[in-house]
Amino acid sequence: MPLPFKARPLLPDNKRLALIWQKHLKRKLERDPKFKADYVKFMDGVFKDGDAEKAETQPEPGKVWYIPHQGVYHPRKPDKIRVVFYCSAKYKGASLNDHLLTGPDLTNGITAVLCRFRKHAVAVMCDVEKMFHRFHVHKEDGDYFRFLLWENGDTDSEPTAYRMKVHLFGASSSPGCANYGLKHLASQNQIQYPSAASFIRKNFYVDDGIISLESVDEAVQLVKEAQVVCAKRNLHLHKCLSNNREVLDSICASERAAEVKQNVDLNHDELPAQRVLGIRWNVESDSFSFKVSLDEKPATRRGILSVVASLYDPLGFLAHSS
């Protein structure tokens, strides 16, 4: 899938900017051994998956862009790092994102997806692993996705130029491209796998799929068919979870959500709580709940609005009544 440029740009040479970012990153890596180990491990996985390659050729002037990158930890998963590429980083007044089209908004409405998730008795959720990285860019676009990195994490050496081969978390075009690709995959399998195709097309919010079904048999069949359809185009559907133990038992343990892979005995233990599109889902009782942690705010209109806005509630369960 090509990069959707507004018009194919002639960009300034921003390698100097990337080198400055590398100096800042080097200092942080050398200060924090755990951060460095996690960073190197993450990038090793990127190369192992074939999502990046060494930039061997000399690019044409104006057709290359170096993207700064940084490691970010998930606030609720302090041991999980994600390396983010800053396609919005500006050099001489422009960034790569300034030249990319976002495309039409193909993301399903979160309210509709959540309401369908609550419709029937058997609930299922799953996730496409590294969704953006499963969609490749055209080879001639790879030099717009260049970045600098030290080989084997050796920050005493000169950084080497690499280029990403896939769409990036951080590029403004990536959500539109990935959503289009996912819906295109569904349309290709509409006849052979109608239920899975409908699920992928209507019940995904970016890379998270959630649905409810009337029976266990329907749920078991849907998970299997959706995994088959996704695997056809190298999409890995994993982190599967259900409020029904029979459905969970039908899913390979390695494909279940991390919380129920090893630590939960499906015959005796309670199913753990999980987040569904940002809302806390108590899987055992099949109910939504909210955990409020109030910061000290002044008793002013601004302070009150700040507290209200800090609670994520897309379905308005906690909205006040007039």
Q: Which residue has the higher pLDDT, 202 or 305?
A: 202
pLDDT for position 306: 82
Q: Please give the Cα distance from 125 to 246 (Å, whole number).
A: 15
Q: What residue spans in the chain does CATH classification 3.10.10.10 cover?
A: 15-102+134-174
The pLDDT tens digits for 136-152 are 999 889 999 999 999 98
**Looking at the domain covering 15-102+134-174, what would its CATH class be?**
alpha beta
Whole-number CA gyration radius for the chain: 22
How far, in Å, CA of 130 to CA of 318, rounded? 33
- Is there a contact between 198 and 166 (Cβ–Cβ < 8 Å)? no
> What confidence score (pLDDT) does residue 262 get?
61
On the question of pLDDT at 269 being above 80, the answer is: no
